[in-house]
A and B are shown apart, each in its own frame.
Chain A
Amino acid sequence: MKILMRSVDMICCTNTDGVITPIKFRISDENKEYKIIRIDRILSRKEEKLAGNRMLVFTVQSVINGSECRFEMKYEFTTCKWFLYKM
């Protein structure tokens, strides 16, 4: 997997216990066109606190252009931003 760290628009769900689950996001490609990617499975979730900065790291799986892909998403608590971290 390659590190991308691109910020994305995300639709996620926060349940009554405060657990955050990403559902689908959109990201612009080279032609500035948005591509919507639905997250099919969450394989793992962990919290990291590197340099005191809290982030949630999700390893997820989706079907992109007909093939199954695995990638990592990050959520930064201080900025409320979502990132496509590694693909």
Chain B
Amino acid sequence: MERTILHVDVNSAFLSWEAVYRLQQGSQVDLRTIPSVVGGDEKSRHGIVLARSIPAKRFGIQTGEVLWSARSKCPNLVVLSPSYPLYVQCSDAMVSLLQEYSPVVERYSVDECFVDLTGYCGGRSGIDIARELKEKFRSRLGYTVNVGVSVNKLLAKMASELEKPDKLHTLYPHEIPKKLWPLPVRELYLSGPRTIARLYRLNIFTIGQLAHAPVQLLQEHFKSHGPAIWKYANGIDDSPVVPGERVMKGVGNSTTMPYDVDNEKEALLYLLSLTETVAMRLRAKSMTARVVTVSLRDADLSFYSHQRRLAAPTNSTEVLFSEVKRLFLEAWKREPLRHMGVHLSGLAGSEFFQTSLFDAITPPGRKALDESIDQIRSVHGTQALVRGSFLHSGIPPLCGGVHEAFPNMRSLL
């Protein structure tokens, strides 16, 4: 049986949500009609554009651009700070509206959802329902969405991205040669900058050329990713719409420092502070991690990372930090750093521990220590118990933002 899948994507999500909320609260100006952006705090150097209005787009302002550059393009630009609780509320409202049509709703990110309407159409076509849905978003929630209708998740997502804003597109298999194949290959789902560069070297520039390329050639150049992108180019995807949130695959925290850090001591303190946050979050989820990654961004914004698989999974701050430290000292090229991050993956449950003959403190002892620290911090605040090394350093003892209500939010930023 052919499936009916919708992909719903909010147009300039953060900005639309801010605009609608402010209108509801009595604002006289609709932010969507003037050059405006949602951006981070410039003073602490978190100043990048997270979302922009259509008039701001006309000035050539890009998402991810630094705020001073956006301001130089448009001096009258209105810059708003992000308010994450509002975005979570808007995202929840979006999911509950979609659930009126089908219980199978997957929240793909804070502003994107997949809906599986198979068996829930009630004799109507997917396009009919999509049209009604789009109108409901506008009248009830006050913002516009792009809707893609097709038979699988991939095509529905590609459809909703064809033309924005406030559009409804279909991309059924018979429409692939006409609508999908002429597009540049960089538009294809899951093809990042590295894949694209290598595809260009193979003289593959459009999705159509990729779809007609021999699978063996792609397999040789891209390993298992080759056949996967070939399938995507041909619109083949049988992944199910999974209701609820996505399963957590990793936890990470990162921070942009208020100044460029050029000495080892301060860099390690920042990493310790990030490890504290990330390990605490890991323990709160009753999980352990096996892969530790340290990512660094220097003053020129070039990015690199280094990772290692541990002998045994752990969630101890101490063990994780000793690995973070080792990774950092191996990777760091001694240049001033602007941004650092610690990411843990290879997650598993924390019921069992692997003991080692060479540990200074036994795992149960470490576990008890970490648990006590977490408890004190949860009752008396995160600043109640901090490491002495942070005293008078000016570095926050726990850094990296946590938006626990919606972990996927981070993937957007």
Binding site for B on A (CB under 8 A): 3-5, 48-53, 55, 83, 85
Contacts and interface: CB of A to CB of B under 8 A. Distances in A.
Contact of B141 (A3, A4, A51, A55): A51
A50 B20 contact: yes
B26 A83 contact: yes
B26 A51 contact: no
A-B pairs, 8 with minimum CB distance: A5-B26, A52-B93, A50-B142, A51-B21, A51-B20, A50-B24, A52-B89, A52-B90
28 contacts: A5-B25, A48-B24, A48-B140, A49-B93, A49-B140, A49-B141, A50-B20, A50-B21, A50-B23, A50-B24, A51-B17, A51-B21, A51-B24, A51-B86, A51-B89, A51-B90, A51-B93, A51-B142, A51-B143, A52-B90, A52-B91, A52-B92, A52-B93, A52-B141, A53-B24, A55-B24, A83-B26, A85-B26
Interface string B4-41: 00000000000001001101111010000000000000
A52 B94 contact: yes
Contacts, number: 40
A28 to B, nearest CB: 17
Contacts of B28: 3
Given A3-B28, A83-B26, A53 B89 contact: yes
Interface string B122-145: 000000000000000000111100
Interface of B: 17, 20-21, 23-26, 28, 86, 89-94, 140-143
Contacts of A51: 17, 20-21, 24, 86, 89-90, 93, 141-143
A52 B25 CA distance: 13
B96 to A, nearest CB: 8
B203 to A, nearest CB: 47
Contacts of A53: 21, 24, 89
Given A50-B20, A52-B91, A53-B21, 4 more contacts: A49-B93, A50-B23, A51-B86, A52-B92
Contacts of B86: 51
A47 B86 CA distance: 19
B141 A50 contact: yes
